[in-house]
Structure 1
Amino acid sequence: MLSRRIVRAALAGPGLGCFARLPKRAFCSSIIRLQEQQKQQENQPTPKESQLPPKKRPLSRVAIGGSQDSRKKYRAGSGLEFATWKAVVILLVVGGTGTWYFQREKARLQKQREMESNRKIGRPLIGGPFSLVDTNGEKFTEQDLVDPEGKRWSLIYFGFSLCPDWCPEEIEKMVTTVNNSKEEGIPARAIFISTDHIRDSPETLKRYLAEFDPNVVGLSGSYEAIKHCCKQFRVYFSTPPEIPEDKFFLVDHSLFTYLIDPDGKFVEVFGVETTPEAMTEKIKGFASAFVPIAEREAKQKSWWSKLV
């Protein structure tokens, strides 16, 4: 029915006037729906990337025999989890401890080489057999410098009881160094060898050394015995063999303090400018590196000493 009206209108009227005769209600409602749909689309929020369906990645990025999900699980359980602060702390502690131990062992072996070098030089030049008498009248030889336990160190100084200047200061330095070493857990003792056989009897030395420390070992002897001992340690002294006519004289002598290790071997020599603190530090260094002669010879052939 409607189609006939349209045909008639087309035949009757010119142009597009036929659309004027169409029902307006149906046409307007269609336009309204279209406008509402457009507004709804504009007001609807755009989906986030996380809400979008996952994109398919190239086949080369997916492990053979696995899926994207399994690859994500693998990545979630590894990677940066290892690089935590705990792992960094452990790495620093282990690395620092290893470095510290290696450096300490290297310094200890270097100190051993220094001691061994001094021994090789010192054996033919400094130290050797001698025989003197202590303040109790007992015989004292180079064998008494050896400590059977391999711990005690000895400081030796040559002088005389009537020395007006250097001897008291050097004896004080030895006593202070010995006390400091004992506080560090290193057994040590001071030994004073008189170059004045005329006036320094055992009794005289005992009274003289008691003013500094009763534990100081005092040694004396005949002119020939003292001369031989001084020759072994390369000490110069000017004591006359016989009593001079005026009965008064001063003894000129060397001003060195010798360090002897527990094996009774020469290690180091200290001058008058060396302080007790410096002497103590030297003894600490040598004591930390000291090993008995048998173990020392075995370690010289070890692979570790060659490595460092």
Structure 2
Amino acid sequence: MAQASPSLSGCLAPSLALPLPGFLGRPDRRNLAGAALLTFLSVEPLVARGSRPHAVLIAWTVHASSSLQIILWVAATAAVVAFAAARWWPATEDSAAAASAFTPTFALADSEGRIRTTDEFRGKFLLVFFGFTSCPDVCPTTLSEVAQVMDDLGSEAGSVQPIFISIDPERDRRLGLTDYTKAFHPAILGLAGSEAETQVAAASFKIFYEREADTTSPDGYTMAHSPGLYLIGPDGAWLRQFTYGTPAAEILSDLQSRL
């Protein structure tokens, strides 16, 4: 199965400090959704361990004349620019080629057992996220941002359909997938198919997921998965991926530029 982005084991991101909904410091409805989620999960609030990485500043001290310092500085800058060009230009071309051939699809059941497909949402933008209800931080953080986007879209919200696809369908159906998604926003549609159907959907979105042993979990396992949020256009074409931690304001701005 192709891996489109780095996965996070158990949805823990050691280098990030992103709180659960209800602790985001915004005086909006998401805080109430976060409280409902914590009640639904019946756990203590958790946050990702660690803190945001900071840029490392490396100081060069050149024991030479000021002229030599300038020459060395110019040479070093030129080397960095040349390296960056060689490193990123081919990657950009490869990414563009991959995007042009990217046709994501799914056919998964909703809470009523009705099979929902990408085709039925033609004409709308889709915000698609793969996760699981027992996720302690990445999934609820991302869904909170999606909820804020839907609130901020106002009258344009009807043009966007947020979708949460379970990568742990059997357990999520038992725990109550719909209750989980509605705790964030009523517009978020939760889907959970069979394991085979989930694998097909994940492969079409080029995301990675797998079950991992976890002795601290009541069921003895957790899930590792790619944490991106995918934007699909009204024609069903892939538009972009929002990396984990992208703020709601940035997602909103992107959507509004397309609506």
Q: TM-score scaled to structure 1, two decimals?
A: 0.48
User: Does the 8 A contact of 1:209 with 1:218 survive in 2?
Assistant: yes
Answer with 1 or 2: which has the greater Rg: 1
Q: Give the match's secondary structure for 1:250.
A: strand
- 1:192 counterpart (164, 168, 176): 164
Post-superposition CA distance 1:60-103 (Å, at most 9, x none): xxxxxxxxxxxxxxxxxxxxxxxxxxxxxxxxxxxxxxxxxxxx
CA distance in 2, matches of 1:179, 1:202: 29
How many corresponding residue pairs?
A: 161
- 1:124 counterpart (101, 104, 113): 101
1:137 matched to which residue of 2? 113
User: Does the 8 A contact of 1:171 with 1:212 survive in 2?
Assistant: yes
For 2:122, the aligned partner's letter is V
Structure with the larger RCO, 1 or 2 (CA within 8 Å, 6+ apart): 2
- 2:152 counterpart (174, 177, 180): 180
- 1:255 counterpart (205, 227, 252): 227
CA distance in 2, matches of 1:214, 1:221: 20
1:286 matched to which residue of 2? 258
CA distance in 1, matches of 2:172, 2:226: 18
For 2:235, the aligned partner's letter is D
Shift of 1:122: 2.6
For 2:110, the aligned partner's letter is D
For 1:211, the aligned partner's letter is A
For 2:253, the aligned partner's letter is E
CA distance in 1, matches of 2:116, 2:203: 17
1:183-222 matches, cutoff 5 A: 183=155, 187-201=159-173, 204-222=176-194
Flag the 1:119–1:182 CA change in 2: closer, same or farther, 3 A.
farther
Post-superposition CA distance 1:14-37 (Å, at most 9, x none): xxxxxxxxxxxxxxxxxxxxxxxx
Post-superposition CA distance 1:138-186 (Å, at most 9, x none): 1011212312xxxx32100000000011100101111111222235577
Flag the 1:125–1:153 CA change in 2: closer, same or farther, 3 A.
closer
CA distance in 2, matches of 1:153, 1:197: 24
Q: Structure 1: state its 5+ residue gaps.
A: 1-117, 241-245, 288-308
Shift of 1:215: 2.0
1:223 matched to which residue of 2? 195
1:154 matched to which residue of 2? 126
2:34 matched to which residue of 1? none
Compute the RMSD of aligned alpha carbons.
2.5
CA distance in 1, matches of 2:173, 2:247: 30
CA distance in 2, matches of 1:181, 1:229: 27
1:55-66 matches, cutoff 5 A: none
Shift of 1:189: 2.1
1:271 matched to which residue of 2? 243
CA distance in 1, matches of 2:112, 2:223: 24
Flag the 1:194–1:185 CA change in 2: closer, same or farther, 3 A.
closer
User: Does the 8 A contact of 1:132 with 1:226 survive in 2?
Assistant: yes
Shift of 1:210: 1.8
CA distance in 1, matches of 2:157, 2:136: 34
1:234 matched to which residue of 2? 206
User: Does the 8 A contact of 1:191 with 1:217 survive in 2?
Assistant: yes
More helix by share: 1
Shift of 1:208: 1.1
